[in-house]
Amino acid sequence: MRFADPKDRPVSHRVQMCVLALLLTASTTRSVAGQSPAPPSSGGNLPASAAPPTQPSDALSSATITGAVADTDAAAIPNARVTLEEVESKAARTAVSDGSGAFAFLAVPPGTYILRIAANGFASWKIRDIIVLHEGENYVVPQVQLGVESINTSVNAITMEDLAEQQITVEEHQRILGILPNFYVSYVPNAAPLTRKQKFKLALVVSTDPVTFFTTGVTAGIEQWQGDFSGYGQEFSGYARRYGATYGDRLGSTFLGAALLPSLLHQDPRYFYRGHGPVVVRALYAISTVAICKGDNGHWQPNYSNVGGNLGAAFISSLYYPSSDQHSVQVTVDNTLIGVATGAFGTLFQEFLLRYFTHGKPPPP
């Protein structure tokens, strides 16, 4: 079979083929044009009949709460912390008042709320009534006036007697090298005066201290070993008499010179440590305290208690010492004066030395 060459086809046939192609193209165009149009883009305008129904916005359904904070003189209070709390859920949100004292809560869902306001230096404030907020409501809080914050001060009043009790409690723990009592020294220069009861109490504490009983026994043993007060004899009975006489001397001088006479004469039996100033001034002060003392009124006065206590104890001791060892009145007075002079050396030790070896003393002011 032989195919004809395209060049050999007649011209009319070519024309027919072109017409057929044009008809097919026109049919396709009409088919596309008859289809439904594509939906417009988001930026296009829809006809009213095709627009979706309008929904109410959150801004219209929610509510607002506004107000202002001032003091009792109507002056604005900035930076006040305002708390809005939903009653049921306890959910809270806060706002801070501006320079004019104004605050606002926007887009608040309907419900019941409690409003609290706090500011530095002012008493806290809470709305008396619960806020019932409706949809779309603009609630204005009535003017808030904060009062000045109340100052709660507690005064721990303490009497002079209580203060003195605290101070002598510290003194009762003062011991030289942690052993020997050093109770009659006050390291507080302006210590409270002792009451009559406290003076006798301190004398009793010193007289019944275990160290007092021990040192009394040592003294009595030395006296027996040296043969002092031979009228007491030897053996245990002699030692017991010497022990009783030595303890009687201490008991008499302590209660007479540090409790009874100071109570009657309103004088303080303690030595008040100075601890400052030139050495000469401190030395003269220490020695002078044998003859002068501080009164319960805080003024310095003659130390009748110390001199009278030593003298009275010396006379009382004549009642229990052996007759062969008793002294005349003149010797008793002389021994009393010697004892007073010896006390001056004791105060010098207190001022310059014993403080550094005393445990339990209060810290320096």
Tens-digit pLDDT profile for residues 257-308: 999 999 999 999 999 999 999 999 999 999 999 999 999 999 999 999 988 8
Q: What percent of the chain has pLDDT over 70?
A: 75
Q: 240 is written with which tokens?
A: 């017991």
DSSP E strand stretches across 215-288: 271-272
User: Is pLDDT above 80 for 128?
Assistant: no
Q: How many residues does the chain have?
A: 365
Q: Apex CA 245: angle with CA 240 and CA 250, to 5°?
A: 125
Task: Enter the pTM of the model.
Answer: 0.56
Tokens found for residue 63: 């509510």
Q: Stretch 130-134: mean pLDDT, rounded?
A: 81
Can you tell me the distance from the alpha carbon of 190 to that of 307, in angstroms, rounded to the nearest whole number?
24
The pLDDT > 90 percentage for the chain reads 48
Q: Whole-angstrom Cα distance, residue 257 to residue 297?
A: 18
